[in-house]
Structure 1
Amino acid sequence: MPGRPEYTILPLDYLVLRGADADEALVLRKETLTWKDLRTRVSRLAAWLAREVPEKGARVATWAAKGEMTCVMPLAAARAGLVHVPINPLLKHAQVAHILGDSGAALLLGTPARLATLEAVRDVPRECRVVAEDVAMTAAAAFEGHLGASTADPNDLAAILYTSGSTGRPKGVMLSHANLWLGAESVADYLGLASDDRTLAALPLSFDYGQNQLLSTWYAGGCVVPIDYLVPRDLLKAVERHGITTLAAVPPLWVQVTELDWPPEVAGRLRRLTNSGGALTVDLVRKLRSTFPSARLFPMYGLTEAFRSTYLDPALVDVHPTSMGKAIPHAEVLVINDMGRIAEDDEEGELVHCGPLVAQGYWQDPERTAERYRPAPAASRYGGTAVWSGDRVRRARDGLLYFVGRRDAMIKSAGNRISPQEIEEAALATGLVAEAVALGVPDDRLGQAVHLVVRAAADASDAVSELPRKLMQDLPNFMQPKIIHWRERLPTGPNGKLDRVVLAAELDGGLKA
């Protein structure tokens, strides 16, 4: 068996040292930062954070649209010895309150409009200070002190990314400096990123895939152009305006992107396209290859618990469009059959991810950590702890992996991982329904659409009209049910629990009828 691979790890904030002083590093709405500027901004923000939150390892949360603060914070917090907790700007106060309370955040920086939606007593923990984004950034810019590069241990915690599970509230995945550094190095390596690359950061920076747009580009010494787009055409305009070479998206967005009329000279500027958050269909692969004939297409598979596991070599996309590919650098991906052994070729098994990209577990949740993070199979060259994904895959004779199905009930819609229980709890909290089951139903544009099956509460005469309005107030847009199905009764299984399998079959049959 080959020995354990060697790799070099530096503290995350060392990424700011990768580029040449005069080259562009970050294009904002009103200014462009060179690498020299970026180093200064990171140093000052880190120094201000260290003064405001002197306790090493304390959590600092951000809840804002893309801008200087959300882009610089991953490196500044790491340099200050703090742990960054980026919150999806699409979330609403109930989800934000849970993340603040669960993480024990000492400081929340956010846009004033978002902060205004938080009810000070109920939604913000007493120990968490709240500071408006503009106030924080003005104070950091005027701060006289600077903070030099950190001396953090590679295993020190650098970030907590919250992701929905198949049950329960969002859980925080703990990522170390090593996880993030090696993830940036790995992606920069297999994408072939270089210092003259310009990445359009269209995905939320609160996701591991979105945050890696920043980190991998900066590892290569390139430039990032963050964008909060309103319509897909905004992406086309940004590619043209900023000379974008790298574009990452999820399948539903790619569907919309390929529906645009791309001028050949604009489409030709893109060197690479990357996809994660759901599988590309054969038809969508063909559309992308036709729309962007000179761009290399990288289908990828990953899970927040181990960052990313596989990618498909662009040279194989046309021949094997449905494959997940092979392990990315710094990852070891094994297929383990039901007997606990390495699966044979074309034998279905569970995807198990081993190696230094494996996160440190779920924040303050040893029970769920023990379920997903378990000792690596004996055949692993890394050993240690592995992520047992729960996803069923098979490995072909040529080593390419193919996705078979998911073990859990996760809803994956438009690239978002959605907890059914979170939607169900929101519906029940309205008092309008007595029972609720949220399911993901196949959808051509979304991957899966959220369907909610409910039984009205006995005294809720206005439930049908009021429930959609209440859910719109309490859940972010991507969690909103596409259809609410009203039932006189919901089926139960032998154990007395609501039978999701029967309901899913009923919905599937009804939609096909």
Structure 2
Amino acid sequence: MTAEPNPAPLPLDYLAERACANGSGERPALVLRDGVLNHKALKERVAILAGWLARQVPEKGARVATWAAKGELTCLLPLVAARAGLVHVPINPLLKRAQVAHILADSGSKMLIATPSRLKSLDDGDVPARCVQLEETAALEAAYEARIELEPSKADPDDLCAILYTSGSTGRPKGVMLSHANLWLGAVSVADYLGMAQDDVTLAVLPLSFDYGQNQLLSTWYAGGSVVPLDFLFPRDVSKACAKHGITTLAAVPPLWVQLTELDWPEEACTPLRRLTNSGGALTTELVDDLRAVFPQADLYPMYGLTEAFRSTYLDPALVDDHPTSMGKAIPFAEIMVINDDGQVAGPGEEGELVHCGPLVAQGYWQDDVRTAERFKPAPEGSHYGGTAVWSGDRVKREDNGLLYFVGRRDAMIKSAGNRISPQEIEEAAIATGLVAEAVALGIPDERLGHRVHLVVRGTLDPQEQSKLPKALLRELPNFMQPQEIHWRKAMPLNPNGKIDRTALTRELAEGKSS
């Protein structure tokens, strides 16, 4: 399939209509544990759920949050909320009470749909006063009992459609505002450059609260294909699901790919795979070789993205062997510019900041004008699209052949196991325990994780008290934010400005010096 050169985006809920109208109504659309929905059934259920949800939350533009594992409700809510004129706020099921409370309060969600255990984990005051809490099973039962169908929406494609919360280098998670057009064109773009078709089956292993994870659904449905959602406990669960469902498309992040390549894959799991996609961290040359060895018949698509602009680049599979460390070139509907420190377009081989222009650029950060102004700025002079661009903070260079290469980041954000982690969140949690006076969270390069989370702290000298810190952090932070190592110090190194010297600490830990 080929992307339209000047596409006219539609309201997001039209994805259900499009797949069904293309003659794929009887084809599977969503394969759940307790049954299969074809595209016709998916279209009907989106209409019914939207009709019920619009009655429950009649205020247009109100936020509806979901906090649950992958299932019928969480998979359909992106389309359902769009049709009901509401804004979907998917919450990562790995998050814990403190992070969820922040997202609910910050977004001002009017409804939270979650599993019973997750609802019970919240304390009084964690949920906004006017936010209705509802168990996901009860929500489904109520919707199908009422059976109020809602016609396709007439929303402006530029209307706000979803808020995805993501961590940055400082502060609490911030909500990235995505329009119908952002999500629609993202689906069109990915379906196009991956060459997806109606007979494709995607195994959705990534969290649906990530733009990468949510696009597993949207791009597959745009192409008329089928999605198999999977919440796995062990890597072996992924290979078993591939064999069971004849998976053709598998998306993952580098740490998961490392684990998957260490498995003994049966032929029935490997043979159907047509494409592997990677984001959330760069592939190493060694990992590319391992993936080639395990999945020789599958095309490999290394990709780079940021939630503020969804996806920026991909590397053509034909170029992977000769350029395994490249980020590739811009995806359809994206314009990628490299701007040097003088504000000019960088020359070949010259380092500069990656600036993403075009219709995939998000609308900014929810209720945060300051941070929006820092990241969302006018496009550089000479941009084809103009308007607002995302200045990523990532340092890249473009070689003579047009391929982009990642150099580094300006900020201190940690990327571990495909998760973007704010050092400040970890530091604040450590200080809040009362055991720590100063804290610095750092990402130290790690072959399997991308970064290992190290926490350097100054505080109590009592070993018994120090032993309480890991337990306290387990209560307050999700598993992917837990420090792999904690270093206690009597004093922190300072830079000439009298601030903690994070660079010196990073260098010391990376070199393996003892504390």
TM category, shorter: over 0.9
**What secondary structure is seen at the aligned counterpart in 2 of 1:261?**
coil
Indicate yes or no: 2:46 matched with 1:42: yes
Indicate yes or no: 2:447 matched with 1:444: yes
Cα distance per residue 1:308-364 (max 9 Å; x no partner): 000000000001000000000000000111111111111111100000000000000
Contact 1:433 1:463 in 2 (8 A): no
Contact 2:285 2:325 in 1 (8 A): yes
Indicate yes or no: 2:362 matched with 1:359: yes
Equivalent-residue separation in structure 2 for 1:266 and 1:437 (angstroms): 43
**What secondary structure is seen at the aligned counterpart in 2 of 1:253?**
helix
Aligned-residue offset at 1:505: 1.5
**What secondary structure is seen at the aligned counterpart in 2 of 1:300?**
strand
Aligned residue number for residue 254 of structure 1: 257
Equivalent-residue separation in structure 2 for 1:59 and 1:488 (angstroms): 46
**What secondary structure is seen at the aligned counterpart in 1 of 2:13?**
helix
Aligned residue number for residue 55 of structure 1: 59
Equivalent-residue separation in structure 2 for 1:139 and 1:82 (angstroms): 18
Aligned residue number for residue 6 of structure 2: 6
The letter for the 1-side match of 2:137 is: D
Work out which of the residue numbers 331, 335, 338 in structure 2 matches 1:332: 335
Equivalent-residue separation in structure 2 for 1:406 and 1:46 (angstroms): 41
Aligned residue number for residue 309 of structure 1: 312
**What secondary structure is seen at the aligned counterpart in 2 of 1:244?**
coil
Aligned residue number for residue 79 of structure 2: 75
Contact 1:456 1:463 in 2 (8 A): no
The letter for the 2-side match of 1:103 is: S
Work out which of the residue numbers 231, 235, 251 in structure 2 matches 1:232: 235
Structure 2 gap segments, 5+ residues each? none
Equivalent-residue separation in structure 1 for 2:428 and 2:35 (angstroms): 43
**What secondary structure is seen at the aligned counterpart in 2 of 1:116?**
helix
Aligned residue number for residue 382 of structure 2: 379
Equivalent-residue separation in structure 1 for 2:470 and 2:513 (angstroms): 21
The letter for the 2-side match of 1:15 is: L
Are the structure 2 counterparts of residues 48 and 511 from structure 1 closer, same or farther at C-alpha, using a change threshold of 3 Å?
farther
Aligned residue number for residue 91 of structure 1: 95
Aligned residue number for residue 16 of structure 2: 16
**What secondary structure is seen at the aligned counterpart in 1 of 2:104?**
helix
Equivalent-residue separation in structure 1 for 2:142 and 2:496 (angstroms): 61
Work out which of the residue numbers 197, 201, 206 in structure 2 matches 1:198: 201
The letter for the 1-side match of 2:120 is: A
Aligned-residue offset at 1:461: 6.2
Cα distance per residue 1:256-278 (max 9 Å; x no partner): 00001112342121000000000
The letter for the 2-side match of 1:480 is: Q
Equivalent-residue separation in structure 1 for 2:463 and 2:451 (angstroms): 31
Aligned residue number for residue 482 of structure 1: 484
- How many pairs were matched up? 508
Equivalent-residue separation in structure 1 for 2:371 and 2:5 (angstroms): 29
Equivalent-residue separation in structure 2 for 1:208 and 1:228 (angstroms): 17
Equivalent-residue separation in structure 2 for 1:111 and 1:259 (angstroms): 33
Contact 2:191 2:222 in 1 (8 A): yes
**What secondary structure is seen at the aligned counterpart in 2 of 1:142?**
helix
Aligned residue number for residue 154 of structure 1: 157
- The normalised TM-score by structure 1 is 0.97
Equivalent-residue separation in structure 2 for 1:501 and 1:328 (angstroms): 34
Aligned-residue offset at 1:193: 0.4
Equivalent-residue separation in structure 2 for 1:197 and 1:171 (angstroms): 34
Match runs of 1:466-481 below 5 Å: 466-481=468-483
Are the structure 2 counterparts of residues 93 and 455 from structure 1 closer, same or farther at C-alpha, using a change threshold of 3 Å?
same
Larger CA deviation: 465-474 vs 491-500: 491-500
Larger CA deviation: 64-73 vs 133-142: 133-142
Aligned-residue offset at 1:143: 1.6
Indicate yes or no: 2:177 matched with 1:183: no
Contact 2:63 2:86 in 1 (8 A): yes
Contact 1:274 1:297 in 2 (8 A): yes
Indicate yes or no: 2:121 matched with 1:117: yes
Equivalent-residue separation in structure 1 for 2:137 and 2:359 (angstroms): 37
Equivalent-residue separation in structure 2 for 1:46 and 1:320 (angstroms): 46
Contact 2:244 2:269 in 1 (8 A): no
Aligned-residue offset at 1:5: 5.9
What RMSD in Å do the two structures reach over aligned CA positions? 1.3
Contact 1:199 1:223 in 2 (8 A): yes
Indicate yes or no: 2:34 matched with 1:30: yes
Contact 1:491 1:502 in 2 (8 A): yes
**What secondary structure is seen at the aligned counterpart in 1 of 2:411?**
coil
